[in-house]
Structure 1
């Protein structure tokens, strides 16, 4: 058990799983078995039940919804477990299992299509079984929404508190002019608690009315070391997180850009083919992988190109 904890601290989950499996075989200990069950739950239960997402580059396009309207089609092939982490999220001396799940059945009532949303699930050992103890649904669509997309889910640990940080944002700049976004910073104490963030999806082209709320949230972000997000929020009044913050662990990122930089202003009947396609880069990290890449100097940073330029470009 102590050796497994050492492997956990070193972000070597496969070694922790192997030593726990050996412990179960050699001792028959119920305590070790409970811990081992937590390590095998994703592979043996959740993935067979829910499926598993694959990283890669996906290409989507516009779909016509009327003579003068169209929408970006979401990627429908990816569903189920994105990735997971085993850590002591509530500082009670026992590890919990955090799982990020892609639900690709969320309804878009405006365009009568299905979208992808992220669901966070927290599992614990209880009575010798692994049980789901809490769930958090994000409402903002991911992996195909507008012309530009920037999504991230990461962990930040400050003063022995683990913050689960998510930000999902999309910019429409072909058939409209505005952002759609959702952000949250959560802690876990037996249930998910929101430290800061939006109340569901938000967005628009002008954010003046959110200035006071943005300053309040920025102060909270400074308090946990998310200084890049705090600075951008004070400048733009947009309640979204920056990819440039220092992160302890990244679970996944999605970066989407239109293939064509130039576009027409459409005033006549819309032709989806002329609107172009969007490439989406879906990157997934397993436990410990991000820190290894960070040590090799390949950590995730901001997008190479931002079609909006300044974050406030959509409101100018």
Structure 2
């Protein structure tokens, strides 16, 4: 037994001193235990590494879940503020609506929607300057091209038109009588020409194409007339944003003459919303019953379609006379008024054939209002002396807001 030879299990050579002289493979109980010990140690390390990996994966999953839940909660808060803002806007609680849109912006400053909705709100309450501020901030935070185009549209009047063409101011303006040179009258009234330029402006989707347009109401204080002094005429201009530029699409001569056209004056331009459309409406009425006998009327009902004003009813040119039963266009005007649910005005037009608006309270939004009346007329003294000073003067009130 003691001299029994042992051979290498790996290569078959005779073992010496517990190890193969050929391949070095060990033999004997102590060497196998060492190998087992090493295997056990490696297995423990593997288990530890696997455990650490599992823990890390589990931790990452927990962090991802926390992040997702936090993001979902943030999105939920954002959506809630947008929904509340819309709800308060419909209820005309503008302060609470604005607070919710501002809260949504605080949650996600890079989201476009709350800036746009807040700008809509400020436009709704006639604060375009605040709308421009909101859009400017939105452009900076989001880089939105659509918002930049809208911002350019909102600032075009202040930054371009007013510096170039001037701006009318609200107030009372005096018009004086003077010796006339015309065939029909020995006395005439001189219009007040102290104002010119932008009277008012409005941004809306006038044509229903999903993009806003800029409506500008402009006063030309040097409107030429044949053989007479300059008059004042009001124009409508429509601008659109095209290829990052603001472009004038169309212009319409709306009311003429105004601001000193007669002993009494009654003019206005307003918006009327009906059947999903926006109508631009207005009329001017000047009557001369002190120095002449007659009235001058101009009127319009327009829509804006495919880049152009489209007249639905109204006068092509101002009409004048002491009575208007000869005017055939009154019927179309009355029919259109009925269609817009302005039945009181329609009935009046059918009675006197004068194509003008008188029930201004039916307007959805007034943009310009001009009224004038004679002050200081001393009829007896004028008849006795014929002196112009006894005719007094006409005071004209121009309103562009706060109707």
1:40 corresponds in structure 2 to: 155
Equivalent of residue 136 in structure 2, options 6, 21, 26: 21
Give the secondary structure class of the aligned counterpart of 1:218. helix
1:64 corresponds in structure 2 to: 179
1:167, distance to aligned residue in structure 2 (A) = 0.4
User: Do 1:226 and 1:245's aligned partners in 2 also have CA atoms closer than 8 Å?
Assistant: no
TM-score between both structures, scaled by the size of structure 1:
0.84
1:268, distance to aligned residue in structure 2 (A) = 8.9
Equivalent of residue 127 in structure 1, options 234, 239, 243: 243
TM-score between both structures, scaled by the size of structure 2:
0.67
In the alignment, is residue 147 of structure 1 matched against residue 263 of structure 2?
A: yes
In the alignment, is residue 168 of structure 1 matched against residue 284 of structure 2?
A: yes
User: Do 2:239 and 2:248's aligned partners in 1 also have CA atoms closer than 8 Å?
Assistant: yes
User: Do 2:202 and 2:216's aligned partners in 1 also have CA atoms closer than 8 Å?
Assistant: yes
In the alignment, is residue 79 of structure 1 matched against residue 191 of structure 2?
A: no
1:145, distance to aligned residue in structure 2 (A) = 1.1
Please list every run of 5 or more consecutive structure 1 residues that lacks an aligned counterpart in the other structure.
291-299, 301-316
Q: Distance in 2 between matches of 1:47 and 1:108?
A: 26
Looking at secondary structure, tell me which structure has more strand per residue. 1
1:65, distance to aligned residue in structure 2 (A) = 2.8
1:46, distance to aligned residue in structure 2 (A) = 0.3
Q: Distance in 1 between matches of 2:259 and 2:285?
A: 10
Q: Distance in 2 between matches of 1:128 and 1:264?
A: 64
Please list every run of 5 or more consecutive structure 2 residues that lacks an aligned counterpart in the other structure.
1-111
**RMSD, aligned α-carbons:** 2.1
Equivalent of residue 199 in structure 1, options 302, 313, 316: 316
Give the secondary structure class of the aligned counterpart of 1:279. strand
Q: Distance in 2 between matches of 1:263 and 1:237?
A: 30
Q: Distance in 2 between matches of 1:73 and 1:243?
A: 28
Alpha carbons of structure 1 residues 31 and 213: separation in structure 2 relative to 1, 3 Å:
closer
Identify the range of structure 1 (26-35 vs 44-53) with the bigger mean alpha-carbon deviation.
Answer: 26-35
Larger C-alpha radius of gyration, 1 or 2? 2
Equivalent of residue 2 in structure 1, options 113, 129, 143: 113
1:241, distance to aligned residue in structure 2 (A) = 1.3
Give the secondary structure class of the aligned counterpart of 1:138. strand
Give the secondary structure class of the aligned counterpart of 1:44. helix
Equivalent of residue 227 in structure 1, options 316, 324, 343: 343
1:215, distance to aligned residue in structure 2 (A) = 3.0
2:170 corresponds in structure 1 to: 55
1:283 corresponds in structure 2 to: 399
Number of matched pairs: 285
Looking at secondary structure, tell me which structure has more helix per residue. 2
2:53 corresponds in structure 1 to: none
User: Do 1:152 and 1:243's aligned partners in 2 also have CA atoms closer than 8 Å?
Assistant: no
Give the secondary structure class of the aligned counterpart of 1:36. helix
Deviations along 1:234-287, one digit per CA (max 9) or x if unpaired, are 1111111114441111111110000035525977985321221001111112xx
Alpha carbons of structure 1 residues 197 and 264: separation in structure 2 relative to 1, 3 Å:
farther
The correspondence of residues 88-103 of structure 1 with structure 2, limited to 5 A, is: 88-103=205-220
In the alignment, is residue 271 of structure 1 matched against residue 382 of structure 2?
A: no
1:15, distance to aligned residue in structure 2 (A) = 3.6
Equivalent of residue 214 in structure 1, options 319, 330, 337: 330
User: Do 1:64 and 1:270's aligned partners in 2 also have CA atoms closer than 8 Å?
Assistant: no
Q: Distance in 2 between matches of 1:49 and 1:130?
A: 15
Give the secondary structure class of the aligned counterpart of 1:208. coil
